[in-house]
Amino acid sequence: MRSTLTPESRLADLESMSNEHGLDVLVIGGGVTGAGVALDAVTRGLRTGIVEAQDWASGTSSRSSKLVHGGLRYLQMLDFHLVHEALTERDLLITELAPHLVEPVSFLYPLENRVWERAYVGAGVALYDTLASVNGRRRRALPIHRHLSRTAMSKHFPDLRHDAAIGAIRYWDASVDDARLVLTLVRTAASYGALTANRTQVVSLTHSSVGAVTGAVVQDLETGTRYTIKARHVINATGVWTEETESLAQSDGGLQVLASKGIHVVVPREAIRGDVGLILQTEKSVLFVIPWSRYWIIGTTDTPYDFDPTHPVATRADIDYLLDHANSVLAKPLTRDDVVGTWAGLRPLLQPGTKDGTSSAKVSREHTVASPAPGMTVVAGGKLTTYRVMAKDAVDFALGARASALPSITDRIPLWGAEGLKAVKRQGPALSARYGWTRATFDHLTHRYGSGLSQLLDAVSAQEDLARPLEHAPAYLRAEIHFAATHEQVMHLEDVMMHRTRLVYEVPNGGLAAAPEIAAIVAAVQGWDDDRVEREIASYRSRVEADAAAAREPSDQEAIAARASAPDISPMAALGGSEANDH
């Protein structure tokens, strides 16, 4: 079984998806839910394919708060089942499925009142810990919460303003590189036989004489070639694009989804003194100050979004909102000059009920699966933490009575890089001494690749210069770029800058200084000529500059107009058209 994804494997998989055998399951959407559906389906023994119109995780699933958590706010709604479900999934990821990707992180919940608030919040966090403990495992995945005095709180977070709190409660959740999780899910699914193709858009659905969905016509956005894929079940996992994809089913049924925009800003680690995160209540949402590697993530906002969902951007007003609320508790105020990067994502908010003529099963307060037409299943809502449950529910719903004979087993399928992780970590001192890596570099590598680090080392053995850091982005090795080009279905420079690494917002100016070296490494692997390299760099530069221009605008409408100055490197195709196979 393979887990090497390349431009060549992508074309081969498109050919295989569209052959006379067809698929048992075609998944539309390459975010965390779609990738989870593909893994769930293929590990049940179903012939599975997954397509994504842009790059893997290019939508909401690379623009989250990067937290794996139970959701403290749901306890206020007394939704104990939902919190327990999310905490169970959190701990499963930490301990078994993805211990390399999902890491513990602790937060302070500052308290302003010495008596009632400490009792009220303390009881809520204690219940949170109790729900995490009721998971059938012999030991807890994370420590239990602790009450801290003002002095102890200050030791953990010196830059929390002295008059901002009389103490705090310290509790634990987890963090994850969201785009990395999606890519790892896709690679794991491919290792079990799933067929995968990014930059491939569904432009229409095929139907039987009685109106049942029988497959899809997809367009390779790199070549313009169209393929007709036969499938017994089509599962729509397209998030904020749910209703647009549903409309292809030639039915009035389906789910209703609205978009809400959330933005985050990145500031250097040295801008704030602290070794734990903060969680604060605001009038509109929850504000997190999250320690992450060499920087802090501050977010998020929660505002209605009625525009094209393709390129949401942070506005000047969004950024000022986050900085103002963070500065309300920070001893040393942050300014716009401290902001290294930003990102904006859209939450797919599931609306109550379904459209007329829809069969559905509301399996959670957070997500629903439905069928707008025979042969098509839609899953929407939910959150990153519970992707596996959403995927299981979607495949169960699609299979109907067959699901009992082919139950989900993804709670026992470690993701790529998880098996053998402890053994690889023990090799850290020897490998670091051999290649001149710091402890931080080795930890960075195992966090991203786990035991799959051995595959990077194979390339380094053949080409020793790959062990060196990038000149203008030294947190990453040249080997990581080489690996992305040889194993992770990179089609464009922006795929590396935005989703295989986080350079688009980790370093100033979107990492443009590192772009020539990165493009040269990809070019050497994939055979790009000088003209192609120049086009890729120019396209990425245009995108970075357009995002920066948007961040200077005061409103969504003005920011979107500024962002539109950068053309897409793989523009989306018009929906509809012939169901014939053009290939």
Residue 189: how many other CB atoms lie within 10 Å: 31
Q: How far is CA 47 from the centre of its chain?
A: 25
Gap between the Cα atoms of 581 and 15, Å rounded: 11
Is residue 76's pLDDT more than 80? no
Is residue 582's pLDDT more than 80? no
Single-letter residue type at 129? D
Contact residues for 8 (Cβ-Cβ < 8 A; gap 6+):
none
Is residue 409's pLDDT more than 90? yes
Are 485 and 464 in contact by the 8 Å Cβ rule? The answer is: no
Rounded to 5°, angle at Cα 110 from 107 and 113: 150
Find the range with the poorest average confidence among 354-363, 422-431, 543-552.
354-363
Half-sphere exposure of 111 (CA within 13 A, CB side): 23
For the chain, how big is the Rg over CA atoms in Å?
Answer: 23
Q: Which residues of 394-421 are buried (b: 16+ CB within 10 A; e: fewer)?
A: bbbbbbeeebeebebebeebbbbbbeeb
**Sorting pLDDT into bands at 50, 70 and 90, what band is 136?**
low
**Sorting pLDDT into bands at 50, 70 and 90, what band is 361?**
very low
Q: Is 400 helix (H, G, I), strand (E, B) or coil?
A: helix
Are 315 and 553 in contact by the 8 Å Cβ rule? The answer is: yes
Contact residues for 422 (Cβ-Cβ < 8 A; gap 6+):
none
Residue 70: how many other CB atoms lie within 10 Å: 25
**Sorting pLDDT into bands at 50, 70 and 90, what band is 92?**
very high
Gap between the Cα atoms of 537 and 493, Å rounded: 7
Q: Which two tokens stand for residue 269?
A: 């680690």
Is residue 250's pLDDT more than 60? yes
Are 52 and 202 in contact by the 8 Å Cβ rule? The answer is: no
Gap between the Cα atoms of 572 and 478, Å rounded: 31
Are 454 and 461 in contact by the 8 Å Cβ rule? The answer is: no
Angle at which helices 387-399 and 32-42 cross, to 10°: 50
Find the range with the poorest average confidence among 88-92, 133-137, 381-385, 403-407.
133-137
**Sorting pLDDT into bands at 50, 70 and 90, what band is 360?**
very low
Gap between the Cα atoms of 199 and 50, Å rounded: 11
**Sorting pLDDT into bands at 50, 70 and 90, what band is 237?**
very high
pLDDT, tens digit (0-9, with 9 covering 90-100), for 483-505? 999 999 999 999 999 999 999 99
Residue 534: how many other CB atoms lie within 10 Å: 13
pLDDT, tens digit (0-9, with 9 covering 90-100), for 182-211? 999 999 999 999 999 999 999 999 999 999
The pTM score is 0.96
Gap between the Cα atoms of 176 and 415, Å rounded: 14
Give the model's pLDDT for residue 357. 53
Are 231 and 208 in contact by the 8 Å Cβ rule? The answer is: no
Are 175 and 67 in contact by the 8 Å Cβ rule? The answer is: yes
Gap between the Cα atoms of 195 and 51, Å rounded: 9
Is residue 579's pLDDT more than 70? no
Gap between the Cα atoms of 566 and 51, Å rounded: 25
pLDDT, tens digit (0-9, with 9 covering 90-100), for 41-58? 999 999 999 999 999 999
75/324: higher pLDDT? 324
Q: Is 207 helix (H, G, I), strand (E, B) or coil?
A: strand
Is residue 580's pLDDT more than 50? no
Across the range 459-482, mean pLDDT stands at 97
In the chain, what is the straight-line distance between the N-terminal and C-terminal CA atoms, in Å?
27
Helix H or strand E encompassing 403: none
pLDDT, tens digit (0-9, with 9 covering 90-100), for 530-547? 999 999 999 999 999 999
Q: Is 230 helix (H, G, I), strand (E, B) or coil?
A: strand
One-character DSSP codes across 316-380: HHHHHHHHHHHHTTBSS---GGG--EEEEEEEEEEPSS--TT-EEE--SSSEEEEEEETTEEEEE
**Sorting pLDDT into bands at 50, 70 and 90, what band is 364?**
very low
Give the helix ranges, DSSP H, for 2-115: 7-17, 32-42, 73-76, 80-92
Find the range with the poorest average confidence among 143-147, 360-364, 371-375, 573-577.
360-364
Kindly list the distances between the CA atom of residue 31 and the CA atoms of 61, 134, 172, 334, in Å, as whole numbers in the listed order: 5, 30, 26, 33
Is residue 577's pLDDT more than 60? no
Are 185 and 510 in contact by the 8 Å Cβ rule? The answer is: no
Gap between the Cα atoms of 382 and 439, Å rounded: 36
* Closest residue by Cα to residue 261 from 299, 205, 220, 211: 299
> Average model confidence (pLDDT) for the chain?
94
Is residue 480's pLDDT more than 50? yes
Across the range 510-533, mean pLDDT stands at 98
Gap between the Cα atoms of 559 and 316, Å rounded: 9
Across the range 117-131, mean pLDDT stands at 92
Give the model's pLDDT for residue 363. 43
Give the model's pLDDT for residue 390. 96
Find the range with the poorest average confidence among 253-262, 395-404, 420-429, 490-499.
253-262
Peptide bond into 300 cis (omega under 30): yes
Give the model's pLDDT for residue 457. 96
Give the model's pLDDT for residue 281. 83
Query: Using CB atoms within 10 A of its CB, is residue 104 exposed (0-12), middle (13-18) or buried (19+)?
Result: middle
Gap between the Cα atoms of 172 and 52, Å rounded: 34
Residue 572 dihedral angles phi and psi, to the nearest 5°: -70, 150
* Closest residue by Cα to residue 545 from 560, 524, 562: 562
Across the range 201-228, mean pLDDT stands at 97
**Sorting pLDDT into bands at 50, 70 and 90, what band is 78?**
confident
Is residue 416's pLDDT more than 60? yes
Is residue 358's pLDDT more than 90? no
Is residue 272's pLDDT more than 80? yes
Per residue, the 3-state secondary structure of 461-500, as one string, reads HHCHHHHCEECCEEEEEHHHHHHHHHHECCCCHHHHHHHH
